[in-house]
Amino acid sequence: MHISAKRSLLFLLVLGFFLIGCREKPNLPPSSTESPIPSATMTTTPTWTPTIEETPTPERPSETLTLTSTNSAPIEGCLEPSDDYERVEINGHQLNQRTLEMLQYAAWLYSGQIDITGEAITQGSYTNAVEASFGTHAGGGAVDLSVMESGTFNILYDEIEPLIQALRLAGFAAWYRDFDELYPGSPVHIHAIAIGDRDLSMPAREQLTGPLGYFWGYNGLPTDNEEPTRDPHGGPIICQWMIDRGYPNKTATPAPTGETP
């Protein structure tokens, strides 16, 4: 064979081997035998928030006062009591349901720390247990209330006037009785008479409409000289329902001797 032909054949053989070695290698399998982890779909447990239905604050009654002894402008808050005279007992003291409901309404108006529907009750109705009460507790509608801090002898002076006004708005004739005011050693308390109670004793009725009474602007207590003592709490609150039941429809106050009203 000619030498140039041999060189050409050798060249072609070398080229062929070179091309075979340069072929692309196939893809190898993954070195790990673990299967790919699928992406998880997160499911969140819903948080349950209870729906809190707030008890609406009761609207104060729309009935207005007709007059007071110191201010003739209408005042919201009067609420005519029920006629429920069923007897109830609190702290060993008897009341009727009407008086208790009035105390409950006064407590709502007052919103203070003296528990006038519970432990603050120191004398109830239908009793002659306390002679110095002049018989005002012998029938229905009468109640005495402590004004001392629970479990102590501390007098809650700042609570007295707001509580008196709440009691009066709820339909009580109510006064603060100081130390020794009724007799030597008599305790401090609030004395209240439920206006319009059908079971009122005669002395209790006198504390409302008698010449020394609530509706005349006095404190309801007899005096040695028979001169009445002016109401220290500003005079009566008169609601329309009181007038409808026959109570005085004005608050003219007879002046004690030598005093200008």
Structural domain contains residue 97: yes
> Is residue 91 classed as helix, strand or coil in its secondary structure?
coil
Burial 212-228 (b: 16+ CB within 10 A, else e): bbbbbbbbbeeeeeeeb
Residue with tokens 């207590």: 221
Give me the tens of pLDDT residue by residue for the chain, a chain 261 residues long: 555 555 555 555 555 555 445 454 444 444 434 333 333 333 333 332 333 333 333 344 433 333 333 333 445 789 999 999 999 999 999 999 999 999 999 999 999 999 999 999 999 999 987 665 678 999 999 999 999 999 899 999 999 999 999 999 999 999 999 998 888 888 999 999 999 999 999 999 999 999 999 999 999 988 777 788 999 999 999 999 999 999 985 444 444 444 433
Structural domain contains residue 129: yes
Q: How far apart are CA 63 and CA 239, in angstroms?
A: 8
Distance linking the first and last C-alpha atoms of the chain = 158
Structural domain contains residue 257: no
Structural domain contains residue 196: yes
Structural domain count, the chain? 1
**225: CATH:** 3.30.1380
CA angle 238, 243, 245 (to 5 degrees): 125
Residue 159 · residue 150 · CB < 8 Å = no
Structural domain contains residue 216: yes
